[in-house]
């Protein structure tokens, strides 16, 4: 805000790049936590592997899934309420910086959409290189391509 005040309200995109990157990193960490809570398919595979007589284990896994989904919905509702309140207060107090806020939000949103393409394109290229190699010296490249997309 102070830098925009010094620049007489002029928007400097290059100065905003670190903030856009920081917001993208934080949003990806929140997304990683939410994916942990919402992806329950591994639990259902565990239930499928159990035999018919193990009801206790089945109910225990279902209880775990219910807890995870409950925490997921509570966390997302709280985050939505907090973001709504913070954005409403910011835009009400700093009326002249709403255009800069919208530009930064759109850039961060665009980077968030572009990020998965970069994240998954790099391992695909590594796998392509490893599979096209005739010698087995590049087998570690294929193993590395398995490790990279951990999100």
Q: What is the DSSP string of 34-100?
A: HHHHH--HHHHHHHHHS-TT-HHHHHHHHHHHHHHHHHHHHHHHHHHHHHHHHHHHHHHH-GGGHHH
Can you give the pLDDT at residue 71? 92
How many Cβ atoms sit within 10 Å of the Cβ of residue 133? 13
More confident site: 150 or 131: 131
pLDDT digits (tens, 9 = 90+) for 60-78: 888 999 999 999 999 999 9
Least confident stretch, 11-15, 23-27, 61-65:
11-15
Entry field: residues in the chain: 151
Can you give the pLDDT at residue 9? 65
Can you give the pLDDT at residue 150? 58
The token pair that represents 54 in the structure block: 């193990």
pLDDT digits (tens, 9 = 90+) for 112-143: 788 778 878 888 888 888 888 777 677 777 77
Classify the C-alpha dihedral 67-69-72-73 as positive or negative: negative
Distance CA 111, CA 105 (A): 10
Can you give the pLDDT at residue 84? 92
Can you give the pLDDT at residue 2? 63
Distance CA 44, CA 65 (A): 9
The token pair that represents 138 in the structure block: 């590049």
Do residues 112 and 137 make contact, with C-beta atoms less than 8 angstroms apart?
Answer: no
Angle between helices 55-93 and 41-49 (to 10 degrees): 180
Q: How would residue 5 be classed by pLDDT, with cut points 50, 70 and 90?
A: low
More confident site: 138 or 46: 46
Residue 127: CB partners within 8 Å, gap ≥ 6? 141, 142, 145
């Amino acid at each position: 805000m102070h830098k925009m005040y010094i620049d007489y309200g002029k928007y400097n995109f290059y100065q905003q790049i670190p903030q856009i990157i920081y917001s993208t990193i934080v949003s990806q960490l929140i997304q990683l936590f939410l994916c942990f809570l919402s992806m329950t398919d591994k639990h259902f595979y565990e239930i499928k592997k159990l035999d018919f007589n193990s009801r206790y284990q089945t109910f225990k896994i279902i209880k775990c899934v219910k807890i995870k989904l409950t925490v997921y919905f509570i966390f997302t509702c709280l985050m939505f309420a907090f973001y709504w309140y913070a954005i409403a207060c910011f835009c009400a107090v700093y009326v002249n910086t709403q255009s800069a806020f919208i530009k930064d939000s759109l850039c961060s949103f665009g980077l968030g959409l572009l990020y998965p393409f970069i994240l998954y394109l790099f391992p695909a290229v590594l796998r392509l290189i490893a599979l096209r190699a005739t010698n087995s010296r590049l087998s570690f490249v294929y193993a590395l391509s398995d490790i990279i997309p951990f999100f």
